[in-house]
Amino acid sequence: MKHLSPIVCLVSLLSTFVLSYHLVVGATVQTSSGAITGHAARNRTEVSEYLGIPYAQPPTGGLRFAAPQTYNSSQAFNASTYSPDCPQMGLTVPPLKYPGQTPQFASIIEDFAGGRGNAQSEDCLTLNVWTKSTESQQKKGVLLWIHGGKFTLGDTNTPFYQGQYLVDSQDIVFVSINYRLNIFGFSGAPGLTQNVGLLDQRKAIEWVRDNIASFGGDPARISIMGQSAGGSAVDYYSYTYLDDPIVAGLISHSGTALSFTPNTPEFSRSSFLTAASSLGCEGSNVLACMRSQDFQAVLNASAKVKPLPSAALAQPVFHPTVDNITVFEDYRALSAAGAFAKIPYLAGNTNNEDGFYRLSARSQNITLTPSQWALWDLEGFTCATSTTAADRAKAEVSMWRYRYFGDWPNLRLYPGSGAYHGCDLHMVFGGAEDVTGLPNTDFETWTTEYMMGAWGSFVNDPVNGLSEELFWPEYNATDYEADFDALGGSSKLVRTYSSNECNTAQQILPAAASKGFKVVLGVWPDTEASFNADTAALQSALTSEMLPQVYAITVGSEALYRASLTAQQLLSSIQSVQKMFPTVKVGTADSWNKYADGTADPLIEGGVKLLLVNAFAYWQGQQVSNATATYLDDLQQAFGHIQEIAGSVDAIEIWNGESGWPSDGGTDYGSAQAGTQNAQTFFSKAICAALDWGFNVFYFEAFDEPWKPASKGLDGSSADETHWGAFTSDRNAKFPLTC
């Protein structure tokens, strides 16, 4: 649940055959593909691993480019090895390089982008199953994985996607699948069924429905999960199989139906014929000719077809094509209309998706400015995920959304790669150490355990698991309007901290307009990436219709107090934003002592017109009986120094930018004791006194945020910040907000 206070993105079985503690690891199970014998997983020997199980007939000969056909067998099958990868040109041919790349760079890219040198074959429509014997007779939730790779590359035979660690940690069954890629899965061939790679995914899901009980899974609790193109495939699936979804839950990492633009039928047809012509396949026999060619020849021919011109990264030539059966022309309209299966959905993206995409851009001699990269991230991932989530929530679908910020030493690609595209998968699969050969940090291990637990909770109970077990609130597209309704009797002005995080600017401004509020929007200038992302979000959101709802923009929040920027650097950032939005007041917020001690003087002398002064007697460890005097003295010192430097404050708008007190459920700090009664006392005495003196005040914060991390005070010790709201998380006022 998102609120107006500082926003933290969260990141919410055995039917006919029973697995129990009596079952031997890797025991033979009966399926429609035969009697399947597995083995113990390499690093988790209590987990049974079944590899390379066929789920459809080999798509060779006359079945090349055709929809998948059912495979049945009564023969014994030793599921001891992965099948070959589906034909593809790996991203790492030739190997990618990047300035400052880390020692683990090559292994990460090879394992993620199909550069491991695995054998390839069209006989690749297989899946892998991991399960664990338990004493419980209860069926297990099932998670089916769809890999990414732009629909042109990728596989399951990689340390990135092994299910052994997740299954060992969580009481679920895990399945990963291969599906046809590039021209073999998305041929565009005239007269044929399109998007057979997506139909492969459906065929695999049907196989799992029909057979997973033999592995201890519940066919009524199958969730499908994908990343990047796989995440988009998961979302595509919800539109294609609106009335017959089979699955009970959806999980998309860094990709939805709104993330990528499908091909037009005309372009796909032309591309197929161009590839065919290069092999001498033309005229009425073009299809038969293409089916007679060696798969490597077809793959090589397809690689020579030029993509459509693009100002940024070109999309692959052979990827999903609009047929309005499996892939639709206008997903934005369909999403807004709620034309999707009403299935619980967990979706999110990483904070710095382009940290990975910069590699392929450099290899193609494509140069984008930081602002262009930020906008690219917004359009393809952050906004696509946000819009998808908002439309699901409006349709009353259980929806959870996350934003992943992890930047771990052993997973770093190069300095500044940040939380790049795909790095969050290690937290779900648990394979970071296998991929890199480097140890996790303690906090990285904790994060892995947390995310494994969250995803496992969702799989076992897609409707309630995240909310009931992890207290992760559902995403609610109407939260801002409900927030404004709750606040309406106390204020008509609110402040946010980042315009990009959780797509704040795009979502809060329309709600503010509908409820008669104005908003102070925020920009984080601490890093180039955060500054560019926030300013790009502002440029997108501040349309002529929405501009009247913006009271001001603050650049930074306690940047001087945290020493993340010098005053001159902060001033430069403020001036840059002011140039972008000349009709909007632009300023900053910082701690009272940074104004009082002269640290902020360059801002005052530089003509900044809006200064927010934060003052917390609580963080100074004061008893509530002394808090009012301390708070007012802080403000007096800051305001007095500003006036001394400026000569007059007539041209400077000065507010108390933050102040408040934690209520019941909070933690004590020094002599400052948390509690609702103390919070009410501080409000009625200190805040009301400041208002009586003529100061405008932003009360910190509007609503409780139970998921929020701890903060540090002046002495460096930490204290909880989950119960600082004037309202509870369900929008009930804790005490009268009147003076």
pLDDT tens digits for 215-236?
Answer: 999 999 999 999 999 999 999 9
Residue type, 397: V
On the question of pLDDT at 649 being above 80, the answer is no
Inter-residue contact 487 to 702 (CB < 8 Å): yes
Q: Which of 261-265, 318-322, 401-405, 648-652 has the lowest mean pLDDT?
A: 648-652
Active-site residue flag, 658: yes
Pairing of β 585-591 and β 217-227:
unpaired
Q: Burial, 545: exposed, middle or buried (Cβ in 10 Å; 0-12, 13-18, 19+)? A: exposed
All residues at 6 or more sequence positions from 137 whose CB lies less than 8 Å from its CB, including other chains: 14, 18, 20
Lowest-pLDDT choice from 53-67, 92-106, 521-535, 632-646: 92-106
How buried is residue 35: exposed, middle or buried, by Cβ count under 10 Å (0-12/13-18/19+)? middle
Element (H, E) at 49: strand 47-54
Nearest to 218 by CA among 173, 259, 165, 176: 173
How confident is the model at residue 2, as a pLDDT?
36
**Is the previous residue joined to 94 through a cis bond, with omega within 30 degrees of 0?**
yes
CA–CA distance, 552 with 500 (Å, rounded to integer): 16
Locate 418 and state its tokens. 């940040």
Q: Give how far Cα 304 sits from Cα of 278, 458, 720, Å.
A: 9, 43, 58
Radius of gyration of the chain (CA): 28
Q: Tens of pLDDT along 171-189? A: 999 999 999 999 999 999 9
Decide if pLDDT at 583 tops 90.
Answer: yes
The average pLDDT across 374-403 equals: 90
Of 321-335, 360-374, 422-436, 664-678, which gets the smallest average pLDDT? Answer: 360-374
What is the set of domains in the chain, with CATH numbers?
Answer: 28-263+322-470 (3.40.50.1820), 477-614 (3.20.20.80)
C-alpha closest to that of 149 among 190, 91, 101, 204: 91
Q: How far apart are CA 257 and CA 642, in angstroms?
A: 51
Report whether 230 contacts 148 (CB < 8 A): yes
User: What pLDDT shows up at residue 719?
Assistant: 66
266 belongs to the catalytic site: no
pLDDT in tens, 717-732: 656 678 999 999 889 9
Both structure tokens of 610 = 């809006």
Rama region for 60: left / alpha / beta (φ>0; ψ in -120 to 50; rest) = beta
Cα atoms found within 13 Å of the Cα of residue 411, Cβ hemisphere only:
27
The structure tokens listed for 59 are 């798509």
Out of 9-23, 81-95, 178-192, pick the least confident. Answer: 9-23
Chain mean pLDDT for the chain? 91
Contacts of 164 (CB under 8 A, 6+ apart): 41, 42, 43, 44, 47, 49, 130
Bridge-partner residues for 217, per DSSP?
Answer: 140
Catalytic residue from among 206, 379, 469, 558: 558
Pick the catalytic residue from 658, 701, 705, 721: 658
* Extended strands (E) in 299-441: 345-350, 399-404
61-65, 95-99, 269-273, 314-318 — which is least confidently predicted?
95-99
Predicted TM-score of the model (pTM): 0.73
